[in-house]
Structure 1
Amino acid sequence: MTTSSRTLRSAIAALALLIPVAVAAAPATAAPRDPVVYDALGDSYGSGYGVPPYSATCGRSEAAYAVQIDGRMRIDLDDFAACAGATTTSMLASQMGALDADTDLVTVSIGGNDIGWGTVVGACVAAGDAPCAGALAATTGVITTALPAVLDATYAQIAAAAPDAHVVVTGYPRLFSPEYGAYLNASPAEQHGMNEGADLLNSVIADAAAEYGFQFVDVTSRFVGHGVNAPEPWVLGLSDPGRFHPNLDGYEAYAAAVTSQVNPRDLR
């Protein structure tokens, strides 16, 4: 046998010894992760009210941010329980059955109906200066004095019903863009007052959520320049049946806010 032949056979034998080692060292293919079990609670801002068609009850719409984020980040919408008109009391009575130990992700939009925010908007838009000022004063008082305890009790029940879930609490947008002038009877100054009321509402909700380690998602910045009186509004006007709720662009902004701020690593 020539020297070159012996060298070739030695190289082949060495390669044969290496192949099993390489195969054994190859990592096993990771099993696909389970879907994230997602339950959506809340009021009309959670149900997608404002963009028809709606479900037979609760004004649930396919435009709702819960429906839009279904399928993103392995999220699987399990129970879509949000209902137009819900208060903390009615939500606890009728929606909590959606949650259990298997729930991985919860979103909740609640609080606006508890303080009668619609009454304030109606007074400022349709009535005069005095009714607007009175409604604002009364409602901001409720936000600061009564709402914190109500939210605390509500979030405690959510935490107990879904102990392993990542809970996302969504806030409310400013409804007006005062820079574009009056909207019906609501002057720019009154619009500023209502926007400040929305900011106060959001801050109280955010503080209460933080006490339970819940994540607060603020949508305020996304709606800037898109109030009901803006050239490109993301809020429906007084003449629409879904008045002062987001339109499709508005709910897309909600979905974008949630998906951009929720870290997939927080979802078990």
Structure 2
Amino acid sequence: MVNGLRRTYRPEMTPRLRALASAVVLLLPLTAVTAPASSSAPPPTSYDVLGDSYGSGFGVPPYGACGRSQSAYGVLVDGRVRLELDDFVACGGATTTSLVAGGQLAALDADTDLVLQSIGGNDIGWSQAVLACLAGTDEQCAGAAALVRSRIATTLPGRLDTVHGLVAAAAPNARVVVTGYPRLFSPEAGAYLGASAAEQEVLNDGADQLNAALRAAAERHGFDFVDVTERFVGHGVNAADPWILGAADPGAFHPTLAGYEAYAAAVTAAIRPGRQR
């Protein structure tokens, strides 16, 4: 104790300690400079949009070529979960055959990360069946629905296999996401034009069968399938809050803006960054 204060003992700096201290001082700035920087964020996932009018956003104008709308689900997901739209080539009225013949596959290459695709509804004459049930007799409705079911079971699988094989070959490193179709009607809301609740159920069953065929074909090729059925429940064309455009609209039986937003939400939920094929 010195004048009531405790003296702190400090060891005398030997030449060896002085050298070690100097080395530490010199090392600290070097360590700060050479410390590894935090890893940068991965690059965005580039994607292309192929398909028919449900892929082109038909129903919500204004339109570009092929009935392409900026309200299409493939456009709405741009910027979400680090997605970056590259080519938007979906075309209203496209079938599995015209998708290929119309040059949509030219959008794909080995650098394509992700493909969003909606196709198959026009291959089975779906719109003709809907028209028959709305404006035709019960017999015409039943006959058209039966024809659609037959095409789904016999013709569609082979056509889907062909187009899926070509997509996989054109974009060998891409993840492919196939989107389904909604049920068009809410039978609980009652008859719609000439379609009774029972006939609406028949058409909705056809949509379910179509989606089952689309899912099976997608899985055969290692693609993902996005089912939007549940999101559209209670929002059929005759519902109080329809997400399907009515028969008098130029975009009849295509999604409204709310419907395409539902599609975009379903696709976004299904996509996880980094999950490429």
Listed as ranges, the matches of 1:41-190 within 5 Å are 41-55=50-64, 57-94=65-102, 95-190=104-199
Aligned residue in 2 for 1:251: 260
Deviations 1:62-83 (A, max 9, x none): 1000110111122111100000
Unaligned runs of 5+ in 1: none
CA distance in 2, matches of 1:260, 1:191: 29
Secondary structure of the corresponding residue to residue 115 of structure 2 = strand
Per the TM alignment, residue 17 of structure 1 is displaced from its structure 2 partner at its CA by: 7.4
Q: What is the aligned partner in structure 1 of residue 251 from structure 2?
A: 242
Q: Deviations over 1:20-41 (max 9, x none)?
A: 5863784323234222121100
TM-score by length of 1: 0.93
CA RMSD in angstroms, aligned pairs only: 2.3
Q: Find the structure with the greater CA-based Rg.
A: 2
- 2:165 alignment partner AA: A
Question: In structure 1, how many angstroms separate the alpha carbons of the residues matched to 2:212 and 2:89?
Answer: 25
Q: What do the CA deviations read for 1:203-257 (whole angstroms, capped 9, x no partner)?
A: 0011011011000000000000000000000000001000000000000000000
| Aligned partner of residue 195 in structure 1, secondary structure | helix
| Percent identity of equivalent pairs | 60
Match of 2:4 in 1: none
Number of residue pairs the alignment of both structures matches: 266
1:66-101 deviation per Cα after TM superposition (whole angstroms, max 9, x unaligned): 110111122111100000000111101121100011
**Structure 1: distance between partners of 2:211 and 2:31:** 57
- Measure, in 2, the Cα distance between the counterparts of 1:261 and 1:34: 19
Tell me the secondary structure at the aligned position of residue 58 of structure 2. coil
What is the Cα deviation at residue 19 of structure 1? Answer: 3.5
Specify which of 49, 65, 71 is matched with residue 40 of structure 1.
49
Structure 2 stretches lacking a partner, 5+ long: 1-6
TM-score by length of 2: 0.90
Partner SS, residue 102 of structure 1: coil
Please tell me the residue identity of whatever aligns with 2:100.
L
User: Amino acid of the residue matched to residue 30 of structure 1?
Assistant: S
